[in-house]
Chains A and B, each alone.
Chain A
Amino acid sequence: MTAMRERTKVFLVDDHGLFRAGIRSELASRVAIVGEASDVESAIAGIRATVPAVVLLDVHLPGGGGKAVVEAIAPELPDVRFLALSASDAADDVIGAIRAGARGYLTKTVSSDDLVGAITRVADGDAVFSPRLAGFVLDAFAAIPVGALDSELAQLTPREREVLQHVARGYTYREIAAALFISIKTVETHVSAVLRKLQLDNRHQLSRWAAERNIS
């Protein structure tokens, strides 16, 4: 990250005008907000027209939910990254957004600084794990019994688990790196690997865990 880098192009998708206005005024000086939309259809059209680096995406959206936007855009514009935002703390919403392809998840009470940090991180291709998301993911993988078929692919490695536990404990990536004597880049690699397992694993117990909670 250089000081001279261009401001990140951000597209806002939320059905609450008041919330969009709030985010816009908080972020206007720090990122470039290139457009906003209030439903799935206009979001897809707007993202195609503006091709932002990051889409701040509300999980609950008229016309199919945030998931529908990710599924429509991801195949044609793979470089557009999604950061899910929601007022909900429900595991279904959190894991559902990630499984659809979002690179991270934040609740709407997040501070401006944390939000800008998360946008930058997602724009750089990294994953953003809030403590809550880390907790849900640990819960999800804990549901998989050790020794299940293909467990190497389905399970978290001990190191990945350790990193997630530190995220859940409120550690930043920098603090995790210091605590585990690894580089920040390695922490990011572990977190991205977890994200990939979560998104790609459509087999076994994780999908059953998801199905039981109506996440597809």
Chain B
Amino acid sequence: MTVNESINVSPWPRDVGAHVALRRVVVGYRLVSAAWLAFLGAAVLWSGAAGRRGVVVATIAVVAAWTAVTVAVAVRRPSAFSSPLWIAADVAVAVWTVLAPEVATSAGPFAGGYPFSAVALAAVNRGFGGGLAAALVLAGFATRRLLLTDSTLVAAINNAALLYLLGAGVIAWGVQVLRDGERQRLAVEAELSREREERRRAAERAETAAHLHDSVLQTLALLQRRSADPVEVVTLARRQERELREWLGGSPRSAGPATALREALEGAAAEVERDHRLTVEVVVVGDAPLDDALSALAAAAKEALVNAGKHAGVDKVSLYAEVDASGARVFVRDRGDGFDPANAVVDRRGLRESIVARLDRHGGTATIRSAPGAGTEVALALPLAGSGRDLRP
């Protein structure tokens, strides 16, 4: 790759870990080399080897300031390091440290390792092209002095020029190797996590398929066999719907006994739906933890549902419950045959025994509104603890 081409290469990947680490190392080297230059400059001043001391002091100040800028850029906007403008400015400061001893009429150079830090920075941030461009410029200015000064400096200057060129090459190559290695590792990791994700999805699919097979497909098979019985079909579909909803909702009803009124009523409704080929529309407003009194209320409500299922001659019953500070109320309503409550025959004794008496023990009331042909509504009311009655045993 030639120097000219290097200006147009695609942006260096800056999100790669190894590259970030290398950049930190180079900025660290810049700090060390700036201190090194300051130390050498101070030695020159101390020994009185420089004719124009102000130039030496100015050079130290410029390098210190530019090093501070370098650190600031590294912290705030490291992407600026790869811009040609930055590299040009950075190399210009380095060139000045090479030329300064001459201007200051110093006996020897005092740039120390500073110029090389510009080569390293360019090589890390722009690869071969950037590194070689910086190295060539600095080597050019260094060897330029060959024509002007005595031969004792020739070896040192040659060494410096060689160091710039070789160093740029080695650093750029090292960056390349590290970057390639990191890319490969990232690719392997991405592949691994993709495979893991695929395995997880496959497992999920298998689990879903198994569930659908055990539930929905079985129900569909049953529906085909029972298609002559519309009530059975509705009951099966309704049960499957309820089950699928619970599964989709991710909160299947806990296996243990209900702990709150809403749960108890929904459980009772599901049971009655299953046993009595009935659709129960459950609406509950508010909720309360289940105690003895509320358990009795739920049991009474279930009894009312069973009664409707047995006697009303309908396929749909409404259950509405509300709980607030004053108490709990449950209404079970059907639009079925109805009956005359004053004339309840023996068969309807379930109402008296298990509904009215059950609630009475907990201070509640049951009201039955019905007339032949006008449907039935059982209204259950229970005052809650806190409204003057302690309902707990």
Contact = CB atoms under 8 A, between A and B. Distances in A.
B324 A169 contact: no
B320 A139 contact: no
A142 B377 CA distance: 24
Contact of A139 (B245, B286, B331, B377): B286
Interface string A118-147: 000000000000011011001100100000
A170 B318 contact: yes
Q: Top 3 A-B pairs ranked by shortest CB distance?
A: A170-B318, A135-B283, A169-B320
Contacts of A132: 281, 283
Contacts of A139: 285-286
B284 interface: yes
Contacts of B283: 131-132, 134-135, 168
A171 B349 CA distance: 26
A42 B148 CA distance: 84
Given A135-B283, A142-B285, A142-B286, 8 more contacts: A109-B241, A131-B283, A132-B281, A135-B284, A135-B285, A139-B285, A139-B286, A170-B317
Nearest to B323: A142
A169 B331 contact: yes
Contacts, number: 38
B277 interface: no
B286 A89 contact: no
B322 interface: yes
Contact of A170 (B245, B284, B285, B333): B333
A28 B36 CA distance: 92
Interface of B: 241, 245, 281, 283-286, 317-318, 320, 322, 324, 331, 333, 335, 377
A75 B348 CA distance: 57
A155 to B, nearest CB: 14
Nearest to B317: A170
A165 interface: yes
26 contacts: A89-B245, A109-B241, A131-B281, A131-B283, A132-B281, A132-B283, A134-B283, A135-B283, A135-B320, A138-B322, A139-B285, A139-B286, A142-B285, A165-B320, A165-B322, A168-B283, A168-B285, A168-B320, A169-B318, A169-B320, A169-B331, A169-B333, A169-B377, A170-B317, A170-B320, A170-B333
A131 B245 contact: no
B286 A170 contact: no
Q: Which of A109, A134, A139, A169 has the most CB of B within 10 A?
A: A169
A170 B316 CA distance: 10
Interface of A: 89, 109, 131-132, 134-135, 138-139, 142, 165, 168-171
A139 B335 CA distance: 26
A138 B320 CA distance: 12
A132 B377 CA distance: 18
Contacts of A138: 285, 322
A16 B125 CA distance: 56
Nearest to B287: A139
A183 B324 CA distance: 29
A169 B318 CA distance: 6
Contacts of B377: 169
Contacts of A168: 283, 285, 320, 322
Contacts of A142: 285-286, 324
Nearest to B238: A109
A142 B284 CA distance: 12
Contacts of B284: 135
A27 to B, nearest CB: 20
A127 to B, nearest CB: 17
B336 to A, nearest CB: 12
A63 to B, nearest CB: 22
A132 B324 CA distance: 18
Q: Which of B283, B318, B320, B322 has the most CB of A within 10 A?
A: B283
A12 B378 CA distance: 39
A131 B285 contact: no
B334 to A, nearest CB: 8
Contacts of A171: 333
A138 B323 CA distance: 11
A135 B323 CA distance: 12
Contacts of B318: 131, 169-170
A166 to B, nearest CB: 9
A147 B77 CA distance: 57
Contacts of A169: 318, 320, 331, 333, 377
Contacts of A134: 283
A89 B322 CA distance: 18
Contacts of B331: 169
